[in-house]
Structure 1
Amino acid sequence: MLSATRLGLIRRILISRTSSSFILPGMIPSSAHPSKRAVTPIAGTVKRPRLDEPENLSTQHDAQVAGPSNLNQDVVMGDAAPAPRPSKVSKPKKFKRPPPPEAGSSEDVILHDVMALIGPDAVETATAAKSDYASPLEKGQEVELVVSELSSNGESLSLLPSPSKPWAVLVPFALPGEIIRARIYASARFHSLADLVAVVKPNEQMRDMDRVKCRYFGVCAGCQYQMLSYETQLELKRKVVEKAYTHFSGLPTHVVPPILPTIPSPKTYGYRTKITPHFDVAPNSRGKRRGKDAKSDQKDATPAKPFDLTIGFGEKGRRRVIDIEECVIATPVLNKALTPARENVQRNIDTYKRGATLLLRDSLRRPAPSHAKDTDISSGQATDPVATQPTNPTSPNTTEIQSIELPEPVQTPNPSSDAEEHICITDHKATVRERVGDTLFEFPAGSFFQNNNSVLPSLVEYVRNAIFTPSTSEADRPTHLVDTYCGSGLFAISLAPAFVHVAGVEISADSIASARQNALLNGLPPSPTSPSTSPASNKNESIVFTAGKSESIFSTVSHFPAARTVVIIDPPRKGCDKPFLEQLVAFRPAKLVYVSCNVHTQARDVGDLLRMMEGAGAEKGLDGDGTRKQTYVIESLRGLDLFPQTSHVESVAVLRLTDVNG
């Protein structure tokens, strides 16, 4: 029999063993959910680091990782102490290599930047040894790094110091030359991903936190460059275009011309004409069970946990939404409309079965409709100025209106629209009106149109000047334009006065309908509602828009003289497919202008096109006698800053068909 004193001692020791929390520096508590990153709770809340207060970051972390107080306790067990149970040995999981990232995707771009940083020898060695995924860093571990460069996506890239294996670390909101402390949260091929914990030594020549205008910067995933001067941002984007053609085109350096300076945006804040805040709902927030086996009327007996409704944008590096009350890169009319849009969601949150995305789009007020079927809200017939139409088809009781009315008109600095009133459109099916220079465009709010109206006149003018260069003779002057992926007709309609015949081709029938309406809106000769597929029927019309797939995109313009034809390409992010490029090689227009929202897929496509021309062989001469070999030369490459304060860059490549000497 053990004495009561001894039994009490044993009980206290056993309780101490089960309740002690062994949290060491750089480690994640074992109770943490495996899918979530370790965070530093301060005064009962979770806060992300402030980039303008680096000294606070280190003290917060040091307080969090203080060691336990009972590591040095002497444990004396009595004779009656139970033997420890043998721990279960789990079999190690076999590593399954993930598939390669999609070509030209964000992950693919990062991987190319990482491999260029660690070097080809290290890449080859690790790949051969199958250690390219074997990270030397643990999740939750903190490391001190010297930033080497910025990736094409705007995050900093650093190499682990020796004696570590060649391994890169990707950290947001840090700049080249800075000494930083970062906390690892995930790893991928040749690199790890980390949160910025502290800027130990800032790059004072680049970083100026007084430039930052957004209170969410450093947490929101939207902007990366607010601490940089605008001149620095433009140069970084020029280098992104340069790296894209180095890593993705597969072309020799002598074929790629020097990258021209990035075309700036007239507005660097308050320019974005479309934002899409989103939100989630609490699990079981409507008192219903979730899942395929749950009946619609079955109540959930589990009490709901406290849930904070957040309406905004994604948090950097996390799969959650942060609450956003203002977006400084959005236009003033959208920021004024954001408050009533948020209030509407908060009032009606119980009506949503799942999360949704709101649409807020800047529009010129359209003239009053001329017939009853036109339901444009600009007629003043809206009944609820704060209701919104989220993109959630399962949400009942949502008022369908087309705009949020504001108490005061918002003027734009564009001289051609100084006196025009702006409203906020929230219905995907409503019609948006925008002015680009002297040209008007209307399109459904849910369809694609560039989101920075202020820079579009510069883009159109640059494309026009690239087509009609000072050295262009009258005999070689282009007379025909083909606008592929034309959307609602931005290039076709803006450039139509400079051409004899214009054809726009697009897979979306709705976009083609908008393009035809925009031609009429701007006084261009109307194209047929149902255009004939016969080239003979269309050859006398100055502008024609046709819905068609890429496999047959040039069938409607086969009568255009290739030697006097310019083709504009403005595809989605994935770029062009092989059938489209094959048609270009067969058609051989005199000049190509490739506008892209993804310079990496553009570089790939341009490289593929030049190689396809090389393999196409000789073509018959214009006079029918003999043969000649032709290719495209890259006349110019240039970035366009469509989204200031972010790492994104639009790019324009101009190619000219030429004979190969010899």
Structure 2
Amino acid sequence: MAGIVNKNEIYTGQVIDFTHEGHGVVKFDRYPIFVPNAIKDETIEFKVIKVKKQFAIGKLITIKEASENRVEAPCEYYNVCGGCQLQHLGYSAQLEMKKEQVVNLFKRKSNFEDTIIHNTIGMENPWQYRNKSQIPVGRNREGEIELGFYRQRSHDIVNIDHCMIQDEKHDQIMIKLKALLEQINISVYNEQKHKGELRHIILRSGYYTGETMIIFVTNSKQLSHKNKIIEYITAEFDNVVSIKHNINLEKSNVIMGNTSHTLYGEETITDKLSEYQFKISDTSFYQINPVQTEKLYRKALEYAQLDGEETVIDAYCGIGTIGSYMSQQAKHVYGVEVVEQAIENAKENAEINHIDNATWEAGKAEEVILKWQKEGIKPEVVMVDPPRKGCDQTFIETLIELSPKRIVYISCNPATQVRDVEILKRSGYQLKEITPVDMFPHTTHVETVALIEKTNN
């Protein structure tokens, strides 16, 4: 199909759809051109900057006819920062776009025509929701400290003073730490040379408690000016209850290393979800958006259809958040997670919340579940919340052998979820319902929770 358009030439076209990355799609004779920042139903003028056999990439030049869903992005860094992709699209249209992504994956690209796909559950106030910020540290050409986020499709740092989707407390800490690091002239990491000390600063906060943890990630076994840093932070910020040093000596894009030390205060911070309290360590998985997490978990609990008599297995259980929710209506919950620190947190959290009908075990889900099966544990419901890569193939085979009545599958990547559900479908399961949940407003990410039931055949 190449030859329909030519590189560096300017064209006018109608935007007919969105890609999963939120780019507008223009088609010439069925040949798609993807144009960032263009919105469905707009007429645009664009320049072709890349031509491939199956598609082309365009750069938006002029909006001839704007969509009624186009809004002015409120963030001054929006056009350069890669953190958000959809601030130019009205929020209700974002929610509709995310539902369409799910419909496209499950109904148009896969054969789940009978599945009910609900509207996306959104936020009343879709700003300042992130309780975790991972901030790269660098220096500009003048040698000044930069803290911020990466430019789109690069590892160049956009130096910022505030972020409209992160906790406001993080803005204040970021600004003051920038001044401190400049003052002490700390060595910063150079990714190309794999030299220098400070790589990232990670901020984690309890949305409801306000407790904050600061983690300094270094390419060194010691944190320079450690005492001065601690003294400054504790004098400036009453809400900081934990300061940690994480060591990452690897030449990779992975942000955190495997070794952490507590420099000041507590090992964990505490947050609340509904009536439950949770202790969160520096390495624990905890949902980024607590307001939406409660909505997500309520929907998962609804799909589980518990009446107090069911045994539930919570695979990929993390620190036990969803398992705690399930425990209030289940006979017993068994949680498994490969990260040992998370299981320690889960046990501690169960004790804090007076949960006595839950068992937590560290290990690979497929191995631990088989062990439980040999011990006579037969779950009616399995709760699954895997990482972006989806469920491990061996785990799915184990799940099919376990044969629960219902599977509640939470996914942060519907593309891998549909792959896994297709395998389950071939083994006698039916995908009944999916509800998208907007965990990351103004980005293209969408979370889904699905109800999968065993058929009678």
Structure 2 CA distance, aligned partners of 1:394 and 1:352?
14
Give 1:312's match in structure 2, choosing from 114, 136, 148.
148
Structure 2 CA distance, aligned partners of 1:425 and 1:217?
31
SS at match of 2:161: coil
Give how far 1:569 is off: 0.4
Aligned length: 427
2:66 is aligned to 202
| CA RMSD, 1 decimal | 3.1
Give how far 1:605 is off: 0.4
Give 1:483's match in structure 2, choosing from 300, 303, 314.
314
Give 1:652's match in structure 2, choosing from 435, 439, 449.
449
1:539 is aligned to none
Spell out, residue by residue over 1:393-433, the C-alpha distance to the aligned partner (whole angstroms, 9 max, x if none).
37751527599558687xxxxxxxxxxxx548663554121
2:182 is aligned to 346
1:593 is aligned to 408
Structure 2 CA distance, aligned partners of 1:401 and 1:657?
55
Give how far 1:276 is off: 1.2
Structure 2 CA distance, aligned partners of 1:269 and 1:424?
25
Evaluate the alpha carbon distance shift between residue 406 and residue 238 of structure 1 in structure 2; reply closer, same or farther with a 3 A threshold: farther
SS at match of 1:638: strand
Evaluate the alpha carbon distance shift between residue 591 and residue 232 of structure 1 in structure 2; reply closer, same or farther with a 3 A threshold: same
Evaluate the alpha carbon distance shift between residue 567 and residue 453 of structure 1 in structure 2; reply closer, same or farther with a 3 A threshold: same
1:280 is aligned to 138
Evaluate the alpha carbon distance shift between residue 346 and residue 143 of structure 1 in structure 2; reply closer, same or farther with a 3 A threshold: farther
Evaluate the alpha carbon distance shift between residue 167 and residue 175 of structure 1 in structure 2; reply closer, same or farther with a 3 A threshold: same
Evaluate the alpha carbon distance shift between residue 365 and residue 456 of structure 1 in structure 2; reply closer, same or farther with a 3 A threshold: closer
The 8 Å contact of residues 363 and 424 in structure 1, kept in 2 or not, is answered as no
2:299 is aligned to 462
Evaluate the alpha carbon distance shift between residue 388 and residue 505 of structure 1 in structure 2; reply closer, same or farther with a 3 A threshold: closer
Higher strand share: 2
1:295 is aligned to none
Evaluate the alpha carbon distance shift between residue 649 and residue 366 of structure 1 in structure 2; reply closer, same or farther with a 3 A threshold: closer
SS at match of 2:206: strand
Matching of residues 25-104 of structure 1 within 5 Å: none
1:298 is aligned to none
SS at match of 1:276: strand
2:196 is aligned to none
The 8 Å contact of residues 352 and 394 in structure 1, kept in 2 or not, is answered as no
Structure 2 CA distance, aligned partners of 1:188 and 1:312?
33
Matching of residues 198-597 of structure 1 within 5 Å: 198-203=62-67, 205-209=68-72, 212-246=73-107, 250=110, 252-254=111-113, 256-281=114-139, 306=142, 309-348=145-184, 351-354=187-190, 356-363=199-206, 389-393=216-220, 396-397=223-224, 399=226, 401=230, 404=233, 423=240, 427=244, 429=260, 430-468=267-305, 478-525=309-356, 542-558=357-373, 559=375, 562=378, 565-597=380-412
Q: Structure 2: which 5+ runs fail to align?
A: 192-198, 247-259, 261-266
The 8 Å contact of residues 208 and 271 in structure 2, kept in 1 or not, is answered as no
Identity %: 24
Evaluate the alpha carbon distance shift between residue 448 and residue 604 of structure 1 in structure 2; reply closer, same or farther with a 3 A threshold: same
Between 512-521 and 492-501, the greater mean CA deviation after superposition: 492-501
Structure 1 letter corresponding to 2:161 = E
Structure 1 CA distance, aligned partners of 2:19 and 2:301?
32
Give how far 1:182 is off: 3.4
Given the alignment of the two structures, is residue 632 of structure 1 paired with residue 429 of structure 2, yes or no? yes
Evaluate the alpha carbon distance shift between residue 655 and residue 327 of structure 1 in structure 2; reply closer, same or farther with a 3 A threshold: same
The 8 Å contact of residues 598 and 650 in structure 1, kept in 2 or not, is answered as yes
Structure 1 letter corresponding to 2:6 = L
- After TM superposition, the score normalised by the length of structure 2 is 0.84
Structure 1 CA distance, aligned partners of 2:241 and 2:52?
41
Spell out, residue by residue over 1:179-231, the C-alpha distance to the aligned partner (whole angstroms, 9 max, x if none).
3333444455522334333323321x11122xx32111222222222233322
Q: Structure 1: which 5+ runs fail to align?
A: 1-125, 283-304, 368-375, 379-386, 410-421, 526-541, 614-630
Give how far 1:390 is off: 3.3
Structure 2 CA distance, aligned partners of 1:606 and 1:484?
16
1:610 is aligned to 425
SS at match of 2:333: strand
Larger Rg: 1
Structure 2 CA distance, aligned partners of 1:508 and 1:314?
28
1:23 is aligned to none
Give how far 1:590 is off: 1.2
The 8 Å contact of residues 336 and 360 in structure 2, kept in 1 or not, is answered as yes
Structure 1 CA distance, aligned partners of 2:438 and 2:170?
21
Give how far 1:345 is off: 3.5
Evaluate the alpha carbon distance shift between residue 610 and residue 208 of structure 1 in structure 2; reply closer, same or farther with a 3 A threshold: same
Give how far 1:377 is off: 8.8
Given the alignment of the two structures, is residue 177 of structure 1 paired with residue 41 of structure 2, yes or no? yes
Give how far 1:596 is off: 0.5
Structure 1 CA distance, aligned partners of 2:235 and 2:98?
36
Structure 1 CA distance, aligned partners of 2:55 and 2:221?
40
Structure 1 CA distance, aligned partners of 2:137 and 2:55?
31
Give how far 1:169 is off: 2.1
Spell out, residue by residue over 1:530-587, the C-alpha distance to the aligned partner (whole angstroms, 9 max, x if none).
xxxxxxxxxxxx211111214413123214564x521000000000121111111111
The 8 Å contact of residues 206 and 272 in structure 2, kept in 1 or not, is answered as no
Between 341-350 and 583-592, the greater mean CA deviation after superposition: 341-350
Structure 2 letter corresponding to 1:260 = H
Structure 2 CA distance, aligned partners of 1:424 and 1:145?
55
Structure 2 letter corresponding to 1:442 = K
SS at match of 1:433: strand
SS at match of 2:125: coil
